[in-house]
Structures are given as structure tokens and as C-alpha cells.
Chain A
Amino acid sequence: MIRIGLRDARAHLGRFAMSIVAIALGVAFVVGSFGFRAMMNDQVAQMMATNADHDVYVRGTDRTDDGDDGSAAVSASGVSSSKYNPVATDLTGTIDAVPGTEPVAVTYAVSGLVLVDGAGDPVSTMGSPTLGIGMSAEHPWRAATFTAGTYPSGDGEVALHEFAARRAGLTVGDTAKVVYDDGPRDVTVSGVFATSSAQAGAIILGLDPATAKHYSDLKTSDPTTTDAIGVYGDANGGAPLTDAQQRSLADAVNAALPADAHAHAVTGDEYRAEATSSTQDALGFVQPLILIFAAIALFVGSFIIANTFSMIVRESMRGYALLRSIGASPMQVFATVIVQALVLGAIGSALGIGLGWGMTELIAAGLARMGTPLSGSAAPSATDALTGLAVGLMVTLVGAAMPARHAAYAPPIQAMNETVNPERPVARRGAAGAALCVLGAAAWLWIWRIAAMDGVPTGVPALDGFAAWTGAGWPLGVGAACLVVGVIVLGPALVGPAGTVLGWIPAHVFRVTGRLAARNLARARRRSANTAAALFVGVAIVSCLGVIASSAKASVNGIVDTGLKADFAVMSASSGRIPQGAEDAIRAVDGIKSVSANRFLFGAKFDGERVRGMTFAAQDTLFTDVFAPEAESGDANAALRGGQLVVGKDIADDRGWKVGDTVDVSTENTVVDEDATRKAAQDYQDQVAARIAQLQTELAQQTAARQVAAAQQTAAQIQQIGDEARQVDQSRFVRTTTRRVSRQVTVGAIIDNSVYRTCIIVNDALGDELGTKETMVTMAMYLAAEPGQDLASLETRLREAVRPYYVVSVMNRDDYKSTMGSMVDQVLLILYALLALSIVIAIFGIVNTLALSVSERTREIGLLRAIGTSRGQVRGMLGIEAAIIAVFGTLLGLVVGVAAGVVIRATYAADGLEVLSIPWGQIGLFLALSVLVGLVASVSPASHALRQPVLDAVGDE
């Protein structure tokens, strides 16, 4: 029996092509999604091993949630890891004294830099950062090996990672520019280094440690602390330590650390594992998205297989009848079909695994092309491959099971009969589906109501309490699940009415073919509905996201059109900070009526607590020249002028503040203690002077005693100490102190502008009292032109003014809109790619369903042809059938997707989705496209139907 099955499988291989493709696609998505995830994880792990390559890390002991400190705390790995309290930088001395350590120093990293190549163009990356890392011969970065040149010294030199050098076209000795926070600086390339793993597109610069420290200190509120101190052990002569060695070194360091330092040493492996998993979790969202499409592909695949096997079984029924009549058991006949399914599943899965691998490689290659080289392995692991194989086989078996059963148990005579057995009624299934749909719709109505009524849906306390308890996320998800499953279950019951309604137009335009097509759909409701379901899910996802994207865009445009009064906005592309020089240059441009600079105030506490949002200082002109206030209560303009707080509505609601409330605003700033610093430097000088005086006394004695050798040695020592004292790093003596400022401020106004909803705004005078120059960075500037100015020429002058700063961009109102718009467009691009995928899968499904339908209707089509139906009419009939299926699925998807979009928009209106915008054009396009999809899908089955000679079709044998 198995031999017959295998032989049949070989004979039917051509017929299996479509099933194999479907299975391969589904498995490819599964394997690809796992593979992509694994590749990213591998990449992250590799980068961690390279970029956080110390053997031991000393970090804080207490977990903190002060992540929004704004200290731009970026470790050498480029991963923010300020989950622990910072440790004092002067612990390096203590750690250095521990035996077995290489010289210890804090590795300072500077983010938000821009490298400008020789031609004056910034070296751009695909969203990856440009990082400067302090390194020197005394304090090297072990994972980096110089391929040319050497370490940079002084702030006029940089070393480049080979990727950065290649991108910028720079080699050792070339001159380039680096844009620091305070402006661009000319530098010479001192060397080029390589790292073992690719850096995922990051541009990495090696800086002199002093330079790195200088710019790192500028960004942090407390230069005397750092997130972690990395320690290299010297046990292996410069090679990384083993885990045990790391362990013992960490123990030794811990023993040396003072108890009050709040510091703790962990092994490098532990540190890396922690950082790796947190980064990997952040990337985890990609996989479920791909898996949804894998599920669609496999769902379609399983019924393509069911259809294919139904056809094969019907055609082979005489053969099975013969087998049965010579004594084969039903089980054996079943086996011959299942063996074919296994062969099919195995081939499809194997192809799919290869395809998935290829897809991952392709993505990696695409990323590399776009400037994000990855060195993570794209090869699927054995587990991934086995998962793919198992999924593929399972889907095939599920698909083949029913036809195989039919082959085994159907009486042969019935199987030879052309008439299709009437379908089981779909009413009960329809009722279950409808119930699910109602449930889902109710869940969505509920949260829509919550959103519309501002969180108080009914006024009945118990129900309102329930609303608050569930929140919006759960009902949204449950509703979506109910509706999607509900529609799929309900589908067959909808096919009949849908055929009538959707078939109305074709039935009136093409009288006969249209009517025949519409009625044919209702003959196999389940099959028609399943075919449409593939398109339904894909279109639902895409149209839902389409509504959200379109609403986001419309909301931004709305803000700009109605609220923004400024003519230009100025932003910085790097770390968000606008260099002082650029700010000054802009202020100097002619034709500007007013400049508003928003300076962020980090770490402000209100009544002793942080708020969920940001605090910034602005000029009095903010509400007259930048955004018109949408005051919920109070006069925002007067409040700002009067030194009161202007609070965003969300924060006010959160804290229960009303206009007139008095709030204690406090900041803690670490400032340089000038006196202590001067004293420390003085102490050092005094020490040196005393030592030199002592040595000079010795020298005099030695000279007197004619001890020539000893005297020469002492003289050299004096010389050396003097030199050291002159070259000493002055920053060693910086002493800081914490300055606490506290003010009682009245809430002057609560505003509802969407851009400021999570902001607290103070005026400059209050801001300067609360913050320091170092911590208050200008993040955004808004310019209003003088009346009558030619905006175009003013824009040109502004751009000219900021050109030397490279990273500062001047945006006019349209640019400002499109910065948001282009982000949305990128999201849409991905959506369209997904849509294209689901369309391809859906076409397979429709082609297959039609092919089965045509094979069932061979005689009927022959009859139609015999009584004068033209070839074109047969094609038309099948085209209309396919188009109705496609439009049916698309319509269902659009209804559910748009409804989801509307509900989600209403729920998250406060997060930048004030305006509902349904992209009607897009929806129309989807519908038109679906008609096209149907027509395209019908071409091949129609050709197949027409190839059949009329005589064969109507012949009685």
C-alpha cells in the first residue's frame, strides 16, 4: 500500500505543485521568523561580547527606576543600562589596587556624535547611533585591534572603526569633522581599528579618554559617577578571562570595595547575559508579526491541500474501488493517500526551510546594503528546522485527512457520481460565529464608549469600576480575537447572501455568467468562505493599521494647521540637543520676530515625586508665537509670564492638580564645588612642592657627599615629579557638591494641546533657578518670522546659518508635518509588503479553490459549452466567481479592520490620534485590487476548464 502511495505521489507531483508552494511559504515564514529572531539574538550577543568585553563590572547595588534622568547614561556597549544606582568614578583607584587587574579607568562613551567625511557630508546610518568611546594605549579596548595607525591623542584626533572608515571613505592621516554637542571640530584620523563582530551599522569613533570624558561629563548631571566601571584582568596576558577567573577577580574586587560605596562587582559574563537578554526582549516584537502571516499561509496551505486531495481522490476513485474490491481494507486505502500527503508535506517543508533561511539571509543582505551589516548567523538552528518540518507535516496531514477518509470509506459507486454531495447546513456554525462576532463587537463598543465618555462609560459605579479594572487593552484584544474567529466561523453562512449582494452588479452587467457565478459560490460555502478568509485576515490587519497611520498623520497635520503659529521649527538630528553655537547663529539671522527655545529641565520633582512626562523651560512667547494654548482652565499665557506652572492635562489629571494649587518644585543638581576643587588642586601642588623640597634637600646632601650616581638619580626624580605635576589632569581635582533647589509654585493653567499634554512648562527665569546650564539643553526651537518677510529666503538664510553644525535641521511648516508623515509612510511601506504577501497567498488559495470547483463541474461546463457558451463567457463566469470571493474577503477584512482602527484610535486619542481619518482612497484601492486579484486568480483554472474538450465533458462514459 505504501508503495502504491509513493507511486501515486510521484505521478501526482505536478498536481501537488501548488500545495507544495503553499506549504513551503508557510513553513518559510515560520522558519524565517525564528531564524530572524535567532539572527538578531546572535547579533546582540556577539555585539555584547565585543562591546562589553570587560572581565568584571563594578556597578551599583540598588536597583533604581530613575531611567528618565536624562543623564544620557550610555555604556560602552551603546545600551543604556542605568537600572542600578551609579557608582563613584573615584572607585577606580581602589579597584586598581586589587592584584590581577590591568590599569583601571572609567570608559567614557559619548553618544549623539556626527562624523563628517572629507567632502563635508555627514556619514548617515540607518537609525544606528554614532558613538565615541574613550581609548588609549594605557586603557585600551580589548576587543578592538588596530589595522592601521594608533590611538588618538588630544581632541584633534580620532580613531575610526573600520566600518565607519569605509563609510566615510577616510584613512589614517585624513582630516574630517566630528560634530560634538558644542559644535563641529576638525580632527585627524589617527588610526583604524576592527572589532570581531559587525556593529549593526553603528559608527564607532575612538576618542582620547580625556576628550571622551569631557563630552560625556557635559551630558550628565553628575560627572563624578558612572553606570559601571569595567575591569580587565591580566591573568591571561591580555586574553579574556575564563568564567572561573572572572569569578575570583570579582570576589577580589568586592573584597576591596568599601562598604559605603553602594558598589558591587559582577563577572563580565553575568553582565553581558543581563544586557543581552534585555536588548533581545526589545527586539522580540518582530516575530509575532511574521508568525501571523505564517499562520495565514499555513491556513491557506491546509485547505489548498484539502482541495488538491479532494480532486486527486475523486479522480483516483476507480483505482481505490479496485483496491477495495481485491481486498484492501479502508485503512490501507487511507494509508495510500496519507503517504502521498507525507511526501508532499516533507518536500514542501524542506523547501520552506530553505526558503525561510534564504529569506533571513536576504533580510540580512538587505540590511547590510542599507548600512546595517550584521554578523549574526542567519542559518536556522536544528530546532527551528525541525519545528518547520513538524508544522509543515502537520498541516499537510490535517489537510489530507478528510479526503483520505472519503477515499477509504465512500462507496465506490457514489464516488464516481458526478453530483457533489450537498453540503452540511451552515446555520449552526453561522449562529456560533454570529455570537462570537456580537461578543467581539460588544467588547469594542464598550471600550469605544469608555474612550468617548472619558473613562466613565455608564455612570453606574459598579460598571465604571469594571471599566477601570479591565482597562482598554484587554477588551480590545479579546474583541479582536472574538471578531476575527467569529467572522471566520460565520463566513460560510455569509457566502450565500454575499453572493447575492456582490453578484448583483455582475448579474446585471453579464446576465448569465454573472448569475451562474454568484450561485456557484453558494454550492460550497465552506470552501468559498475559507478561501476568502485568507484575504480577510490580511486585509483586516493592513486596513486597521492603515486607519491608525492615516489618523496619526491627520492628527499631526491638524496640530500644525490649527495650532502651530511658528514659521519654522529647529531640531537636532543627533542626541536631540541643539549646540549653543547653532542657537546663537539662528538668533543672529535677520528677519526673525521671535525665537522660542525649549530647554529641558531634567530630574525635576513635584511635591517630591517625578511626573510622568517632561518639564521644560520656555520663553513668554511660547503661547503667542509657537502654539496657541488650548486652555482647559486658567490663562496659560498669563501663567507663563507670571512664573506659574503650565501643566499638561494628562499630568494634571494624574496628580489631581487644579489651577491655583501650590506645588513644591525641587531639583537636585550636582555642581562643581569651586572652593573644594581649588583647594584640592592646591593641596596637590603643596604636596608636590613639599616632595620636591625634600628631594632637593637630599640632592644637596648627596652632592655634598659626592655620591654622583645617587645625586643624578635624585635630580631625575625631581625632574619627573615636576613634569608630572605640570601635566596632571586637572579634572582629577574636580569636587562636586549637590545643590538642592526648592520653590513653591502655583499651577497657573492646565492646557490640552496634544503636544504638551504630558509636559510641565515653566518660564526661563524659574527654569534658570531650578536647573543648571549643563543640565538644561535646548531640544527644540521655534521661530516666528517678522511680518512681511519672504519665508523662502529666510529659510535659505536659516539653513545657511546652521550648516556648519550638520545635525541641526530647519523645518518649515510642511517639513514639520512630513517628519511625522514620513515615519508613517515607512510604516505603511511595511504594511504594503505584508499586504502583498497575503495577496500572493490568497491568490494561491483562490486558484486552487477554482481548480477544484472546475474539476467538480467538468460536465456542467461542458454542457454550457455545448449549448453555446463561448470561451470568453466561461472565463468570465470563473473570473466573476473568483472576484466575488476576493471582494467578499476584502470587504470583511475592511469592515473589521477599519472598525478596529476606529476603536483603537478612540482609545488612544490622547497619544497623538486626535483626528480620525479613514483612508477612503486606500480602501477603494484595496477593493479594486481585490477584483483584480480575483480575475488574475481565475486565469489558470479557466484555461484548464477550457482545455477540456466539450465532448469529453458531456460524454456519458
Chain B
Amino acid sequence: MGRHSAKGVREAKARDDRGIRGADDRGADADPVVARAVDLVRTYGDADSLVTALDHVNVEFRRGQMTAIMGPSGSGKSTLMHCMAGLDAPTSGRVFVEGLEVSAMSQRQLTDLRRTRIGFIFQSFNLVPTLSAEENILLPLEIDGRPIDRAWFRRIVRVVGLERRLSHRPSQLSGGQQQRVACARAMMARPSVIFADEPTGNLDSRSGREVLGFLRQCVRDYGQSIVMVTHDPRAASYADRVLVLADGRITRDLDHPSYEEILDVFAGDEDPGTDDGHGADDAHGTDAEARA
């Protein structure tokens, strides 16, 4: 893994000096926990209208697993992911990624964390419209000025099936293709963990299956750790582990659940919106709001 050219080593060292590459590289004796939240609290608003999005959450995300976070709108699942990824600052509590305390990082350190440790896949608007698919995939490495591992690039592109689409601009790609480019981009930098926020939320079911299949493959073949927020029980069924949030707390922690098990969780609790993925969040969101 990784090219250990002289330059690469020098750059890795430079990063050590900046204090981010503190933890060991992903090796056999690595910490089995890739990311961890300790007593995480996130509230919004002032004293009069306090909204508690996360209520003393403690959770560990294991290396080499795909973890799905589920829950109704307003349950705090997105907030949890944003705090884990350093996009949002917790009100109290601590967040670690690869043993580094994200919640205490400066902007500069966060930038470096995003470059080296974290990959993102958003629900939409994942790609820079002025860049071709290939340029988008390579963007994180170029931003960081890292050497490009061409063999790795070709392998990823083959897996996501974009060989013939590399020179296209995002506007010339379908939604599913765009999301696959985003997946490839996230994988390209070989981050410690990929955070995916409703990666299939805007896709039809076939495209969604392709994307989820690719993510699954990354975990299986390359030991990639992935944390995915989703409404969709079908998407969650691709995960090794499913966490269910409600009112800012983790209410269930399922290991390798089947689709039916996931459906059952919601059936006992609330209507999960069994619609086949697409449009599920809308229905669900309305429900959650109606209950609130």
C-alpha cells in the first residue's frame, strides 16, 4: 500500500511535524477502532429554545467495517456524522479519528485531516462542475500535492465502471455516474474512514444498488472503513453494522442485520417508509415532523 518513494516519505514526515499523521499507518497491529465519540453533546439555539441534537453519545466505529447510521429526521444522525468528520464542532465531548482528537483541531489541522484521513460522499453536489470526472477523482491528491498512484486509480475506475467516462464533465454524467465518481474520489486518497451522507438519497434504485455495491466492495476488498448515514433500510442492509438514533441517542446497535431485521426495528417503532429507497426520506421526514 502506498508508494514509499523518497518524496513520499519526506512528505509523510512533513505531515508528522504538523502533528496530524501521528497514528501509525493502517497496518496489522492498528487500533481496531478507526473513529470514536466520547460523551458527545451537540445542542443548537439559545437557552429559550434549546434543541439537543446529540445527547451524550458514546460510539466506536470499527476499522474495516461499513457502519450505517439510521434514524428519523431530527434524530441527530447527520449531526453525529458531521461532528465525527470535523464539519461541526461538538458542544461538549470529544471526537477521535485514528486516535487524533478532531474536536480540538485548528482549521489548519482540520484541513490536513480531511486531506489525509477522511473521505466524503454527499447526497448531491459532490463534484466540481468545471473539472472532468478524472480530475474530480484526482482532486484530493492534487490539492494535497501528493503523487498519484496510477495503478490504484485504474483499479478504482474499473471497479466503479467509469473507464469510458473519465473525460466527461459532471453535467454530462447521470446522477448515478456522478455518485460513482464521488465514491472513486473518496477512495482515491485511501482515507482512514469515508463518511457518506445519504449517498443514494437522490438516486433511482438501480443506481443506488451500484453505488452501494461499490462501497461494499471497498470494505471487503480493500479494508476501507465507511460510515454512512441513510434513511433507506435497503441501503442500511449493505452495512456490517447498523446504529439507530432517536432523539440524539443511540437506541439500537445491530451487527450484520438482514433487510428484514432492519425493517422490523422500524416496524416496532415507527413506519420506516418501505418505499424502495427513492423518495423514502421525504415520506419519512414528513412523518417525523408530524410526530414532533
Query: Which A residues lie at the B interface, using CB under 8 A?
Result: 418-419, 511-512, 515-516, 519-520, 522-523, 859-860, 863-871, 873, 950-951, 954, 956
Judging by beta carbons under 8 Å apart, are B114 and A951 in contact? no
Judging by beta carbons under 8 Å apart, are A950 and B130 in contact? no
Partner of B129, one of A860, A865, A951, A956: A860
Alpha-carbon separation in the docked complex, A519 to B139 (Å) = 14
Q: What is the distance, in angstroms, from A875's C-beta to the closest C-beta of chain B? A: 13
Judging by beta carbons under 8 Å apart, are B144 and A511 in contact? no
Alpha-carbon separation in the docked complex, A117 to B162 (Å) = 91
Alpha-carbon separation in the docked complex, A846 to B128 (Å) = 23
Judging by beta carbons under 8 Å apart, are A867 and B139 in contact? yes
Q: Does B260 contact A (CB under 8 A)?
A: no
CB nearest neighbor in A for B169: A519
Given contacts A512-B139, A516-B130, A867-B143, contact A418 B115 (CB under 8 A): no
Q: What is the distance, in angstroms, from A503's C-beta to the closest C-beta of chain B? A: 11
Q: Which residues of A contact B119 (CB under 8 A)?
A: 867
Alpha-carbon separation in the docked complex, A57 to B140 (Å) = 88
Pull 25 A–B residue pairs with CB atoms less than 8 Å apart, ordered by A.
A511-B145, A512-B142, A512-B143, A515-B135, A523-B130, A860-B129, A863-B122, A863-B128, A864-B143, A865-B114, A866-B87, A866-B114, A867-B143, A867-B185, A868-B111, A868-B144, A868-B189, A869-B111, A869-B143, A870-B143, A871-B107, A954-B87, A954-B125, A956-B122, A956-B124
Q: What is the distance, in angstroms, from A942's C-beta to the closest C-beta of chain B? A: 14
Q: Hey, what's the 0/1 contact readout for B177-214 against A, CB within 8 Å counting as 1?
A: 00000000100010000000110010000000000000
Q: Hey, what's the 0/1 contact readout for B116-146 against A, CB within 8 Å counting as 1?
A: 1001101111111111000100011011110
Query: Which B residues lie at the A interface, using CB under 8 A?
Result: 82, 87-88, 107-108, 111-112, 114-116, 119-120, 122-131, 135, 139-140, 142-145, 185, 189, 197-198, 201
Alpha-carbon separation in the docked complex, A284 to B119 (Å) = 67
Q: Which residues of A contact B126 (CB under 8 A)?
A: 863
Alpha-carbon separation in the docked complex, A873 to B111 (Å) = 11
Q: Which residues of B contact A522 (CB under 8 A)?
A: 130
Q: Which residues of A contact B201 (CB under 8 A)?
A: 956
Judging by beta carbons under 8 Å apart, are B143 and A950 in contact? no
Judging by beta carbons under 8 Å apart, are B111 and A870 in contact? yes
Q: What is the distance, in angstroms, from A626's C-beta to the closest C-beta of chain B? A: 67
Partner of B128, one of A418, A511, A860, A954: A860
Q: What is the distance, in angstroms, from A789's C-beta to the closest C-beta of chain B? A: 69
Alpha-carbon separation in the docked complex, A754 to B288 (Å) = 92
Q: What is the distance, in angstroms, from B134's C-beta to the closest C-beta of chain A? A: 12
Alpha-carbon separation in the docked complex, A870 to B125 (Å) = 19
Q: What is the distance, in angstroms, from A23's C-beta to the closest C-beta of chain B? A: 33
Alpha-carbon separation in the docked complex, A864 to B139 (Å) = 9
CB nearest neighbor in B for A866: B120
Judging by beta carbons under 8 Å apart, are B140 and A519 in contact? no
Partner of B122, one of A418, A870, A954: A954
Alpha-carbon separation in the docked complex, A869 to B34 (Å) = 23
CB nearest neighbor in B for A869: B143
Q: Which residues of A contact B139 (CB under 8 A)?
A: 512, 867
Q: Which residues of B contact A511 (CB under 8 A)?
A: 142, 145
Q: Which residues of B contact A871 (CB under 8 A)?
A: 107, 111
Judging by beta carbons under 8 Å apart, are A870 and B108 in contact? yes
Given contacts A869-B143, A951-B87, contact A864 B128 (CB under 8 A): yes
Q: Which residues of B contact A515 (CB under 8 A)?
A: 131, 135
Q: Which residues of B contact A863 (CB under 8 A)?
A: 122, 125-128
Q: What is the distance, in angstroms, from A716's C-beta to the closest C-beta of chain B? A: 110
Given contacts A859-B125, A868-B144, contact A950 B87 (CB under 8 A): yes
Judging by beta carbons under 8 Å apart, are A951 and B128 in contact? no
Alpha-carbon separation in the docked complex, A792 to B129 (Å) = 72
Alpha-carbon separation in the docked complex, A522 to B169 (Å) = 14
Alpha-carbon separation in the docked complex, A512 to B88 (Å) = 26
Q: Which residues of B contact A954 (CB under 8 A)?
A: 87, 120, 122, 125
Alpha-carbon separation in the docked complex, A598 to B185 (Å) = 84
Alpha-carbon separation in the docked complex, A866 to B185 (Å) = 12
Q: Which residues of A contact B120 (CB under 8 A)?
A: 866-867, 954
Q: Which residues of B contact A520 (CB under 8 A)?
A: 130
Other than A867-B140, A868-B140, give 18 A-B pairs with Cβ distance below 8 A: A418-B125, A511-B145, A515-B131, A516-B128, A863-B122, A863-B126, A867-B139, A867-B143, A867-B185, A868-B111, A868-B112, A868-B115, A870-B143, A873-B143, A951-B87, A951-B88, A956-B198, A956-B201
Q: What is the distance, in angstroms, from B15's C-beta to the closest C-beta of chain A? A: 12
Alpha-carbon separation in the docked complex, A867 to B111 (Å) = 8
Alpha-carbon separation in the docked complex, A865 to B135 (Å) = 16
Judging by beta carbons under 8 Å apart, are A868 and B114 in contact? yes
Q: What is the distance, in angstroms, from A520's C-beta to the closest C-beta of chain B? A: 6
Alpha-carbon separation in the docked complex, A868 to B144 (Å) = 8
Alpha-carbon separation in the docked complex, A797 to B131 (Å) = 76
Alpha-carbon separation in the docked complex, A139 to B127 (Å) = 91
Q: What is the distance, in angstroms, from A299's C-beta to the closest C-beta of chain B? A: 28
CB nearest neighbor in A for B107: A871
Q: Which residues of A contact B127 (CB under 8 A)?
A: 863
Partner of A956, one of B107, B123, B131: B123
Given contacts A511-B142, A866-B120, contact A860 B115 (CB under 8 A): no
Alpha-carbon separation in the docked complex, A864 to B128 (Å) = 8
Q: Which residues of B contact A951 (CB under 8 A)?
A: 82, 87-88
Alpha-carbon separation in the docked complex, A950 to B86 (Å) = 10
Q: What is the distance, in angstroms, from B61's C-beta to the closest C-beta of chain A? A: 19
Q: Which residues of A contact B112 (CB under 8 A)?
A: 868
Given contacts A516-B131, A867-B139, A868-B111, contact A860 B87 (CB under 8 A): no
Alpha-carbon separation in the docked complex, A871 to B107 (Å) = 8
Q: What is the distance, in angstroms, from A743's C-beta to the closest C-beta of chain B? A: 82
Q: Which residues of A contact B144 (CB under 8 A)?
A: 868
Alpha-carbon separation in the docked complex, A523 to B131 (Å) = 12
CB nearest neighbor in A for B128: A860
Q: Which residues of A contact B142 (CB under 8 A)?
A: 511-512
Given contacts A512-B143, A868-B114, A950-B87, contact A519 B131 (CB under 8 A): yes
Q: Which residues of A contact B87 (CB under 8 A)?
A: 866, 950-951, 954
Q: Which residues of A contact B131 (CB under 8 A)?
A: 515-516, 519
Judging by beta carbons under 8 Å apart, are B130 and A867 in contact? no
Alpha-carbon separation in the docked complex, A868 to B115 (Å) = 4
Alpha-carbon separation in the docked complex, A869 to B201 (Å) = 25
Q: What is the distance, in angstroms, from A339's C-beta to the closest C-beta of chain B? A: 34
Q: Which residues of B contact A865 (CB under 8 A)?
A: 111, 114
CB nearest neighbor in B for A859: B125
Alpha-carbon separation in the docked complex, A519 to B125 (Å) = 18
Q: Which residues of B contact A523 (CB under 8 A)?
A: 129-130
Partner of B143, one of A418, A860, A868, A956: A868
Q: What is the distance, in angstroms, from B103's C-beta to the closest C-beta of chain A? A: 14
Q: Which residues of B contact A418 (CB under 8 A)?
A: 125
Closest 6 CB pairs of A and B: A868-B115, A519-B130, A868-B114, A870-B111, A512-B142, A951-B87
Interface centre among B114, B119, B135, B189 (most CB of A within 10 A): B114
Alpha-carbon separation in the docked complex, A859 to B139 (Å) = 16
Alpha-carbon separation in the docked complex, A549 to B122 (Å) = 60
Q: Which residues of A contact B135 (CB under 8 A)?
A: 515
Q: Which residues of A contact B128 (CB under 8 A)?
A: 516, 860, 863-864
Q: Which residues of B contact A956 (CB under 8 A)?
A: 122-124, 197-198, 201
Alpha-carbon separation in the docked complex, A511 to B123 (Å) = 28
Alpha-carbon separation in the docked complex, A868 to B143 (Å) = 7
Alpha-carbon separation in the docked complex, A788 to B129 (Å) = 78
CB nearest neighbor in A for B82: A951
Q: Which residues of A contact B108 (CB under 8 A)?
A: 870
Q: What is the distance, in angstroms, from A856's C-beta to the closest C-beta of chain B? A: 11
Q: Which residues of A contact B114 (CB under 8 A)?
A: 865-868
Alpha-carbon separation in the docked complex, A134 to B42 (Å) = 94
Alpha-carbon separation in the docked complex, A512 to B189 (Å) = 16
Q: What is the distance, in angstroms, from A862's C-beta to the closest C-beta of chain B? A: 9
Alpha-carbon separation in the docked complex, A419 to B125 (Å) = 9
Alpha-carbon separation in the docked complex, A576 to B108 (Å) = 72
Q: Which residues of B contact A867 (CB under 8 A)?
A: 114-115, 119-120, 139-140, 143, 185
